[in-house]
Structures are given as structure tokens and as C-alpha cells.
Amino acid sequence: MIVEQLAGWGRLPLAAAPQARPTTMAELTKAWAAPGSRVSRGLGRAYGDAALPDEGGFAVSALGLARMISFDETTGLLVAESGVSLAEIIEAFLPRGWFLPVVPGTKFVTLGGAVAADIHGKNHHVDGTFGAHVAWLDLLLPTGGSLRCSEGQEAAVFRATIGGMGLTGHIERVAIRLRRVPSAWCKVRTLRGRDLSHTLELLAANDGSYRHTVAWMDCVAVGDRLGRGVVMLGNEATPAELPAKSAAAPHQLPRRPKLAVPFDLPECALGPLTVGAFNACYYGLAKDAEQLVDFEKFFFPLDTIRDWNRIYGRRGFAQFQAYFPDATAEAGLRACLDAIGRSRQASFLAVLKRSGPANDFPLSFLDLGYTLALDLPGPAKTLAPLMAELDGILAAYRGKVYFAKDAFVSPSLIPAMYPRLDEFRRVQRALDPSGAVRSLLSTRLKLHD
Amino acid sequence: MTEPHTPLHVIVGATSPIARAYAVDCAIAGKPLLLAGRDLSELELIAADLKIRQAVSVAVERYDASLPGEGRRLALTFAGRPVSAVVAFHGIMGDRDEFAAMLQVNCASIAELFEPVLAAVSSVAGDRGRQSNYPYGASKAALDAYLSGLRNRLHPLGLRVVTIKPGFVRTRLTEGKVNPRSPLLAEPAQVAADIRRAIEGSADVVYTRWFWRPIMAIIRCIPEFVFKRLKL
């Protein structure tokens, strides 16, 4: 094991820690049994400290074990090792007419990470989270030894592992049900929300008739225009709805150039002025219209720019994602947007989504309501006052943070945000009595005690 | 799916990271594969993965380069089938105590393999013995000389021998020894692409990445009375 500089996608915080990179099952078993606390790590797309080892611990990379094991052409059940990325699955199966049931805003996450964070996408109100489509999984237990679990077998372990942030063990293999899609395109309708209540209303009014819904929000707009946004509503297009050129190969994604941010940009590149201008243009140029958008562009708009996190420069950034239940959503979101607007800690991207009912995984994030996600440029020191203010808003309006995004929330708020935490802890402690699996996140948020 | 008479591409030492990247390249190109190596369960995982992703035919065969005779046994398993190339990726790195084992695995085992195209992964370490890893370097130097002679003998028969000389590659062998951010450190996929180009082209000796050729040319030119004083 060699010491590496590790960080989440926001590059806040950083940690120098050893990382094992097993490439065979035998190497994985050996690496997992090494002394010290350990945490599994995938592609490092969690924004904060979820995949960073606790002080003195080490990370175990899943990336060296990334084989697809079987695929059932009739049911769509794919069994693969946890290091396989969603990008690889899409590359292999979209041309054959299959797609992942749930995708997040980037395809560069591993299967293991998708399960551990129980990720959600634009279709949460219809299809729920990623975990809802997992048939079974194999877990390398904290004490060694492998356990297969599903809803019918070791259900408590299965449910604690989905959304369990890797704390129940190392996810070795996942059986995920892929879904047939009519094409690789969405018919997307774009509407503009004048202000927060209008944007929320547009989302709520349309979630019955669209599988994929999302709103981009202008965090710089204040006063009457607070919460104005562009609402995107999508349904998958049938081949008949595509232009002749695409209809011939409806599951083929168009080719597009690969872009990258080759180095860290200076901090002034993303200041209040540039972000304000971008947001105003985005809103101003959006038309109320319907168009065909391919999956890549619709689901993963930022993936076309590799290493986009470098636009924030060396200071790094935090992502803030909050969920509010229907009853308090408007007031809670208004308070968040207001605090962020006043702080002038401009945000490039703010994404608002409608969410459907909760599932049965104790640490899973979403329930019926709305969730807002946005970037806040670092460094940590200048973010602290705003984060403290946001904590107060979350507490007042029954808000909740998403572990995969968080690096700042006060640990005292967690039990109220995650009322089933004790249930999770009982399962976790039974699997890991000596506390061998820990992350910076699990220690910081006291998920173990 | 591939035609039954499409020639077989044989990858020996197929669980190594470079071999795995190479197998992916071959599978994308639709070549039916035979993967040989010591760890049969790993080979089966790799084969299943290639079959699912690329829909090519992939067979596996146990092969242990430390045992004399394994190469001939392996050749019997595909006797009678046309073969496009045999590419040997296996190798071990150790110190003086393991020199005999290294000679067997890194050189003698390969002497049992030959086909229309035989490509074997050697190393820049074979170009000159350095105090840090000369037993390994010597086993690769033996391989280089063997392949050179074999090429000379087989050329009139129209058979090809390709010597592949990687420098630093991000694998277990370089972990902890080479700065992970070094610009000299290549990814297995880059090396695999160089190997594929070499085999599809007409090269005899290929350095990968390319810049190792001038670097090693310079290192070979250093007079011995100077070289013996260097800390390499």
C-alpha cells in the first residue's frame, strides 16, 4: 500500500492516506484483512469525506475489480463487480437497448458507490433510488468472509448496506436490474419558473406525466426573483419520434468532442460576477419549448468536461444538498437560497428536484418532497459561517443533508435528519463489533456511537 | 459473434494489468481469444467480462510458467486451430535468490512458445544491468537475446517475433518504487495500445512508451567505467 493524496470530488477536505489497489479477489481479501481501520473507495465522486479513511486508516480501491460477470438478456439482470462504472455499463448495454434504472448527474461513479450512497436521479418520483433496483449483493464483511444478501436473504444487512456509505463492509458484487429503453433520446420540454413558488409548482404539476424532471435554479437572483429557474421535463423518445437519421440506430449516442479542464483555474475565474452573468444568460436564453436531447447530454451534462471540479481552483468546493419535506419545502428552500444569495458565495449550479416517497433502507436520503443541490466554492474557512447558518435552517425546517455530498454539517443534527439511524447502528455494530470499517465521514458525524 | 475459422489470439499471463488492457483491445477488434494463466478463477472472471461487453468468444486455459513443459502443453490445447499470434505477458521480479526462477519464468518458458507471430513482453531493464534490479534485468536480457536469435532464424520462414520493452507501467511492480505522478509512468491501456500497434504493424523491437528508446540508447552508450560509479 502506498500513501496517496486522497480527496472527494470537491477536494475539501484532503487526506494523505495509504490506498490498497487490489486487482484480484485474492488480493482484495488480503488487503481487506490488513490492520487499521478501512473504507472502500470507488471513483471518488462523493464530494466530501465519505470515501476518505479515518485518521490512521487506509482506503481499499474497488477500481481494480471491475468485471461484468453475467447478463440475462430476458430479465436485464446484470451481475458485476463493484468497481464497474455506470459509464462502462452504459457503453456496453445502451447500444443493445438497455439502460440503468437510475443514474445520478455523472456516469463516472462505480456500481459499489451507487449502492453505498443509494444514489437518485431525475426520476426519483417514478423509479425511486438505485437501491430499489438491486436484486442482491455480495458483501465482504468487516470481520472477513463474504455474505450474499437481498430482500429475501439477510434482509437487514441488505437494507443497511444500501445507502450505508460502505460502513457494513466492502461491496464485492452487485446484481442490478437494467431497464429496456425505447431509444437513447429524451423528449424534453423546457419551462421557466418566475420565482420559487412558481418553479416548485411547475415541478409538482408535471411529475405525474414526466419520468424525468429537474429544475436548474438561479442562486444569484434575489428579492422577487428568488428561486427563478428553468424546469426540464423529459420522457424517453420512441424511435418513431426521432429524425430519420437517428431512428435507424435509436440507441446510438451521437459522437461529441471530449473536453477537459487541464489545470486548476485561478480563483477569480468563478466569482460573483462571472457566475451571475452565466446564470442570467442561462435563464434569459431558455425558451419554453420541446426538443430531443440525447441521454448523455440530458443525464450527464457535465461529463463532457473531464475534471470539471478544477474550475474551482485549489481552494476546492463544497456541495450542499438538502432535502425538505413537502410541508416545509418552500419556506426551507427560500431560507437556504436567501442565505446563499446574501453570502455572495456564488454557486455555478443549483439543481432542484422533486422526490418521491422514502424506501426501506434506513440511511437512504430522500422522501416525498424536494431536494436542492448546489456548489459552494471553498476554502473551508470562508465557508464555515454560511454552513453554520444553513445548519440552522435545516434544523428549523426539518431539512436533511445527503452524506455523499456533505463535508460540513453539524453531527448533532444527524439523529433528527435520519430517524432510523439507531436501526442502522444495530446492524452495523453486529457486523463490525471492533469498528474496523470507518471513514472520515462516519467518524465526523458519529454514525457509529 | 466471430466466425469459427477466425484465427485465435493467445494471451499468456492474462491476469496481468497490461494483458487485461490488451485483451480488451483485442475483444473490441472482435478477435477470438484464449487466455492462459495461473489463476483459473481470475481468468474465468476476465473471460466472462469480455464476453458480456464485446460478444467475442473467449476460452481460458491454466498455464504456469514456472513449470517446464507448460508452454508445449498449452500449444497442444489449440493445435489444429489457426492462430494469429501468441502474446506472452507473464514475468516475475525478484532478487538474487530468485534468479533461477526468474530465468525460468521470464525467459525459458517463452522458448517453448512460437507461432506465426510471437510477441513477448520484456523490459527496458534488460538493456543494461543496474545495481537496483540486475537479476531481473539479466533474465530479461536473456529473453531479448533469445528473441533476437529466434527472429533471425524464423525470418526466412515468414514468421515474426516481436520484443516489447515497457518502461515504468502503473502495476504492482512499480507501486511504491515510482512516483505515481511521474510523467514516465504509463497506464496499462497505453502500453496495451502500443503492443497492439506493434503486432499489427511490422516492428521487431518496440519500446513503450516510445520515449524509452532514446533514453535507453543513451544509457547503453555510457562507458562501463562511468556506469559502474552511477547510482541507478
Pairwise CB contact (< 8 Å): B45 & A67: yes
Structural domain count, chain B: 1
Which residue in A2, A24, A71 is closest to B52 by CB distance? A71
Strands, sheet with A58-61, edge to edge from the N-terminal-most edge strand = A2-7, A14-20, A58-61, A38-41
Confidence of residue B2 (pLDDT cuts 50, 70, 90): very low
User: Taking 70 as the threshold, does the pLDDT of residue B3 lie above it?
Assistant: no
pLDDT 10s digits, A121-176: 999 999 999 999 999 999 999 999 999 999 999 999 999 999 999 999 999 999 99
Confidence of residue A271 (pLDDT cuts 50, 70, 90): low
Residues of B in Cβ contact (< 8 Å) with A26? 39
Pairwise CB contact (< 8 Å): B39 & A26: yes
Residues of B in Cβ contact (< 8 Å) with A88? 53
pLDDT 10s digits, A57-102: 999 999 999 999 999 999 999 999 999 999 999 999 999 999 999 9
pLDDT 10s digits, B192-222: 999 999 999 999 999 999 999 999 999 999 9
Cα A122 from Cα A130, distance rounded (Å)? 12
A416 and A396 Cβ atoms separated by less than 8 Å: no
Phi-psi domain of A25 (left: phi exceeds 0; alpha: psi -120 through 50; beta: other): alpha
Cell of B209: 512508451
Second-level CATH architecture of A68-181: 2-Layer Sandwich (3.30)
Pairwise CB contact (< 8 Å): B48 & A4: no
- Inside any domain, residue B232: no
* pTM summary value: 0.89
Which residue in B42, B175, B176 is closest to A24 by CB distance? B42
User: Hey, how many other C-beta atoms are within 10 angstroms of the C-beta on A377?
Assistant: 23
Residues A327, A328, A333: CA angle, nearest 5 degrees: 135
**Distance of CA A235 to CAs A123, A242, A291, A300, Å?**
10, 13, 11, 16
Cα A116 from Cα B90, distance rounded (Å)? 36
Residue B56: what are its φ and ψ, rounded to 5°?
-110, 165
Cα A348 from Cα A278, distance rounded (Å)? 8
Which DSSP state fits A258? -
Range of the domain at B211: 8-227
Q: Which helix (H) or strand (E) holds B100?
A: helix B99-102
Q: What is the CA radius of gyration of chain A?
A: 21
Residues A62, A67, A68: CA angle, nearest 5 degrees: 130
User: Taking 90 as the threshold, does the pLDDT of residue B150 lie above it?
Assistant: yes
**What distance, in Å, lies between the first and last C-alpha atoms of chain A?**
29
Cα B189 from Cα B192, distance rounded (Å)? 5
pLDDT of amino acid A256:
78
User: Taking 90 as the threshold, does the pLDDT of residue B155 lie above it?
Assistant: yes
- Please name every residue paired with B211 in a beta bridge, in sequence order, or none if there are none: none
Confidence of residue B55 (pLDDT cuts 50, 70, 90): confident
Percent of chain A with pLDDT over 70: 97
User: Taking 70 as the threshold, does the pLDDT of residue A264 lie above it?
Assistant: yes
Percent of chain A with pLDDT over 90: 78
Which residue in B39, B45, B53 is closest to A92 by CB distance? B53
Cα A273 from Cα B19, distance rounded (Å)? 50
User: Mean pLDDT lowest for which of A324-328, B73-77, B115-119?
Assistant: B115-119
Pairwise CB contact (< 8 Å): A2 & B49: no
B35-59 core/surface letters (b: 16 or more CB in 10 A; e: else): bbbbbeebbebbbbbbbbbbebbbe
pLDDT 10s digits, A302-361: 888 888 888 888 888 899 999 999 999 999 999 999 998 888 886 766 899 999 999 999
Q: Tell which residue, B215, B204, B193, B216, has the closest CA to residue B163.
A: B204
Pairwise CB contact (< 8 Å): A2 & B175: yes
Which class in CATH covers the domain with range A185-413? alpha beta
Domain extents in chain A? 68-181, 185-413
- Inside any domain, residue B206: yes
- Inside any domain, residue B2: no
Cell of A335: 431560507
Pairwise CB contact (< 8 Å): B180 & A88: no
Residues B105, B110, B113: CA angle, nearest 5 degrees: 145
Pairwise CB contact (< 8 Å): A68 & B53: yes
Which residue in A4, A24, A70 is closest to B48 by CB distance? A70
- Inside any domain, residue B223: yes
pLDDT of amino acid A440:
97
Residues of B in Cβ contact (< 8 Å) with A67? 45-46, 48-49
- Strands A146-150 vs A68-71: parallel, antiparallel or unpaired: unpaired
Q: Using a CB–CB cutoff of 8 Å, tell me whether B41 touches chain A.
A: yes
Helix, strand counts (H, E) of chain B: 8, 7
Q: Tell which residue, B87, B35, B80, has the closest CA to residue B62.
A: B35
Shortest alpha-carbon distance between residue A150 and chain B (Å):
22
**Residue in B39, B46, B49 to test binding to A, most A beta-carbons within 10 Å:** B49
pLDDT of amino acid A33:
96
Can you give the CATH number for the domain in which B28 is found?
3.40.50.720
Residues of A in Cβ contact (< 8 Å) with B52? 68-71, 92
* Domains A68-181 and A185-413 fall in the same CATH topology: no
> Tell me, what's the ipTM?
0.82
Residues with Cβ within 8 Å of A156's Cβ and at least 6 positions away in sequence, in order, are A427
pLDDT 10s digits, A402-418: 999 999 999 999 999 99
Q: Tell which residue, A117, A171, A141, A159, has the closest CA to residue A424.
A: A159
Which residue in B17, B42, B45 is closest to A69 by CB distance? B45
Between B182 and A180, residue with greater pLDDT = A180
Residues with Cβ within 8 Å of B45's Cβ and at least 6 positions away in sequence, in order, are A25, A67, A69, A81
**Residue in A23, A96, A263 to test binding to B, most B beta-carbons within 10 Å:** A23
Residues of B in Cβ contact (< 8 Å) with A92? 52-53
- Please name every residue paired with B208 in a beta bridge, in sequence order, or none if there are none: B166
Average pLDDT score over residue span B131-144: 95
A94 and A103 Cβ atoms separated by less than 8 Å: no
Q: Which helix (H) or strand (E) holds A172?
A: strand A170-177
Confidence of residue A268 (pLDDT cuts 50, 70, 90): low
pLDDT of amino acid B120:
96
User: Hey, how many other C-beta atoms are within 10 angstroms of the C-beta on B182?
Assistant: 11
List residues in chain A touching B: CB distance below 8 A: 2, 4, 21, 23-26, 67-71, 81, 88, 92
pLDDT 10s digits, A351-398: 999 999 999 999 999 999 999 999 888 888 889 999 999 999 999 999
Shortest alpha-carbon distance between residue A403 and chain B (Å):
30
Q: Using a CB–CB cutoff of 8 Å, tell me whether B46 touches chain A.
A: yes
Return the C-alpha torsion angle A25, A28, A33, A35, nearest 10.
160
Position A191: which residue type? Answer: L
A447 and A425 Cβ atoms separated by less than 8 Å: yes
pLDDT of amino acid A378:
82
- Strands A58-61 vs A14-20: parallel, antiparallel or unpaired: parallel
Residues with Cβ within 8 Å of B102's Cβ and at least 6 positions away in sequence, in order, are B92, B93, B94, B135, B136, B139
User: Taking 80 as the threshold, does the pLDDT of residue A280 lie above it?
Assistant: no
pLDDT of amino acid A270:
65
Given CA atoms A334, A338, A341, A345 in this order, what sign does their dihedral have? Answer: negative
Cα B210 from Cα B186, distance rounded (Å)? 11
Shortest alpha-carbon distance between residue A35 and chain B (Å):
19
Cα A357 from Cα A350, distance rounded (Å)? 22
User: Taking 50 as the threshold, does the pLDDT of residue B1 lie above it?
Assistant: no
Confidence of residue B224 (pLDDT cuts 50, 70, 90): very high
Return the C-alpha torsion angle B40, B41, B46, B48, nearest 10.
110
Q: Using a CB–CB cutoff of 8 Å, tell me whether B175 touches chain A.
A: yes
